[in-house]
Structure 1
């Protein structure tokens, strides 16, 4: 398991779109460069009074310009720590390693300014913005520099370990920030995905229902245009009304999605609007709706869900029921629950995989804490049975 975790970390890609350089980067660089200049001017040992400090803290006078140039060169790499984190680590610690090799050859015990501590931000940036391979390799580069530094300035092995610990802490902080940023990005993406699913469900229910009704009426009108022109005209009128309803509901949905637009305060379709389904199908199959007298007691969210479920169920029956003559829609309030039963009297149907419409019905029921069943009905046809909490 540990091997799998390490492989996953090693294969971690770089985060997308690292932030561009901001004023804080210049401010940090300015502070560190000012520190370097002040240290070069006033630090004992750099000004020639090497004897006033222990050798571990004093820098011979001859090394002063070299130390300043090396420090400035290393600190300048901080400007690219987000966009090129691995290259920055290699450049900064490569310069420091080369400098220490020269010190070893020249037998100089100490040669760095304390402002070089600014490189502690590099492991943070490496683990925050680099890939897994870059992070692991970069740590190896830092460790190699610490070993060379230990050779140049012999100290206890524990001090080398402690120094590496500071860099590990910086790296861990960067990894932690990266983890939380990735988790937040995943949460945002999941929220967007849920919104897309909800929008797709609404579009499917609204557009599918009205387009099916329009198609049926168009077929009926075409069949009757020669023999029964009056009924054909009625079918055309029904098509016009259905299209108007579809456009109205689409405008409501677009108004909700439009950023900065004024909200549409038109009331949302509810359980009482299920009765309209009985009037939107002229001819066969006939749709019969039965509602209780106390439907106004239901919460708006429950009523809206019942309407959409009934709408989708009737649409499916009109589309797919074979030789159906009647579709019934019954809503019954039973204590703390409300039940919706939609069934047709078509030929017996086999249970098959659910289409998108039935999946949407199941999602609506689940979101409100209800239950959903769909399948062949006893005695033939198909049924959809949904139970929701009446006070959800």
Structure 2
């Protein structure tokens, strides 16, 4: 049973457990599926032995041949017994059962269900990938029977036996072709099942990877923004701790507020990991929370101007969240990497697209501002996931610009994000 306990880095899914590799319908596993290689097929082989022995006795009466002796029964049992290893050694099984069956036919014993044993051995070899071994074994069995029935019968038992009718040979040939055709059909069908299973597993893996990427992106955006504010305010507090205690108290209050908000958003993201499929306790962030971003930026010493133009139609939740995170990350970059203390945010809603512009006057600060270097990449991924684009780079008149376009109509395929100039040290 698959262990359902979560571990670090895993993303649980409320989906039924996958089948083990090589698992298929029970009748297919009995014919040589990989899921049954660890044990010998005693039951199916015993049932086949009973069918072959009893069926051959009935066939002997219908063909007017003498009853089976001890040697004949031993040959039938041997032809079936070798099939016990058909899962572990399919080549040995098919070649062994064909050889014993050829000896049985050369001794003049009646035709009958012994060919069922040959079919089982052939099926096991073909579905396990040993097609040539199965074809050679069947071909040699048919050629040996043809030789014995039409040329060597004078020296083989029973005495006084004549050549076999050619109509009988046509029946045997048709039987051989039917066995090969059925086995090949089963092999193709089994490969289709395996391909479908692999495709399902790959789709599940893709969904898990996408979910992990989404969670990582959310955590990055939440933590990068909040920690940037905390870092700036901590520096202010340390600088003013002795000279202006009241201003230092204000910085500490801002740190407390930013950390509390960050903890709340992280808790919401992690809650969706623990209880997949349940509705979140709080609504996802959107453009309606831009005033909060302005306040947080102001606490970090950045004056932000927000201008919204265009139609006021409702933005889809996915686009709303992506737009909020892009603006949040862009302002975080200004706080961390720009010498400018002002930023301009424009939200243009027109037609079926949402356009975002975040400008600062620069210049870029020197030195290490920290961060993972994935901020611009994360913004591009968010825009591309919705079929949009994002470009970031220096402006012609100085400063830095982040420009994003996000389609508002659902069902759009994601387009490859354009290559944009990246500023060193981005989060």
How much does 1:29 deviate? 6.7
Please provide the CA RMSD for this pair.
Answer: 3.6
Are positions 1:361 and 2:379 aligned together? yes
How much does 1:242 deviate? 0.7
Matched residue, 2:319: 302
Over 3 Å counting, the alpha-carbon distance change for 1:367 and 1:19 in structure 2 is: same
Q: Alignment partner of 2:89: what SS?
A: helix
2:271 to 255, 261, 268: 255
Please list the CA deviations of residues 209-259 of structure 1 after superposition, one character each: whole Å capped at 9, or x if unmatched. Answer: 111211121122112212222111111111111111111011111111113
Over 3 Å counting, the alpha-carbon distance change for 1:120 and 1:298 in structure 2 is: same
Give me the whole-angstrom Cα distance separating, in 1, the residues matched to 2:215 and 2:332.
18
Asked if the contact 2:125/2:131 (under 8 Å) is kept, the reply is: yes
Are positions 1:339 and 2:331 aligned together? no
Matched residue, 1:153: 145
Asked if the contact 1:63/1:111 (under 8 Å) is kept, the reply is: no
Over 3 Å counting, the alpha-carbon distance change for 1:29 and 1:314 in structure 2 is: same
How much does 1:167 deviate? 2.5
Give me the whole-angstrom Cα distance separating, in 1, the residues matched to 2:287 and 2:141.
77
Matched residue, 2:10: none
Are positions 1:208 and 2:224 aligned together? yes
Unaligned runs of 5+ in 1: 1-14, 82-86, 127-134
Matched residue, 1:316: 333
How much does 1:172 deviate? 1.7
Unaligned runs of 5+ in 2: 1-18, 32-40, 147-168, 366-371, 411-427
Matched residue, 1:84: none
Over 3 Å counting, the alpha-carbon distance change for 1:268 and 1:341 in structure 2 is: same
How much does 1:199 deviate? 1.7
Give me the whole-angstrom Cα distance separating, in 2, the residues matched to 1:237 and 1:208.
19
How much does 1:295 deviate? 5.1
Give me the whole-angstrom Cα distance separating, in 1, the residues matched to 2:144 and 2:295.
92
How much does 1:106 deviate? 5.0
Are positions 1:268 and 2:284 aligned together? yes
Matched residue, 1:53: 63
Asked if the contact 1:372/1:385 (under 8 Å) is kept, the reply is: yes
Matched residue, 1:92: 93
Q: Alignment partner of 2:362: what SS?
A: coil
Please list the CA deviations of residues 318-370 of structure 1 after superposition, one character each: whole Å capped at 9, or x if unmatched. Answer: 2222x222122222323443321111111279xxxx95222222222233333
Q: Alignment partner of 2:234: what SS?
A: helix
Please list the CA deviations of residues 252-299 of structure 1 after superposition, one character each: whole Å capped at 9, or x if unmatched. Answer: 111111136854331221101111111113253433333459757333
Asked if the contact 1:124/1:174 (under 8 Å) is kept, the reply is: no
Over 3 Å counting, the alpha-carbon distance change for 1:24 and 1:298 in structure 2 is: closer
Matched residue, 2:12: none
Q: Alignment partner of 2:246: what SS?
A: helix
Give me the whole-angstrom Cα distance separating, in 2, the residues matched to 1:290 and 1:311.
15
Q: Alignment partner of 2:283: what SS?
A: coil
Asked if the contact 1:337/1:390 (under 8 Å) is kept, the reply is: yes
Matched residue, 2:406: 388
How much does 1:31 deviate? 6.0
Matched residue, 2:47: 34
Over 3 Å counting, the alpha-carbon distance change for 1:334 and 1:35 in structure 2 is: closer
Matched residue, 1:113: 114
Give me the whole-angstrom Cα distance separating, in 2, the residues matched to 1:71 and 1:381.
85
Structure 1 window deviating more from structure 2 (95-104 vs 246-255): it is 95-104
Give me the whole-angstrom Cα distance separating, in 1, the residues matched to 2:310 and 2:111.
92
Please list the CA deviations of residues 154-180 of structure 1 after superposition, one character each: whole Å capped at 9, or x if unmatched. Answer: 146954455433322222222222222
- TM-score (normalised: structure 2): 0.70
Query: Where do residues 154-169 of structure 1 align in structure 2 (5 Å cutoff)?
Result: 154=146, 155=169, 159=174, 160-169=176-185
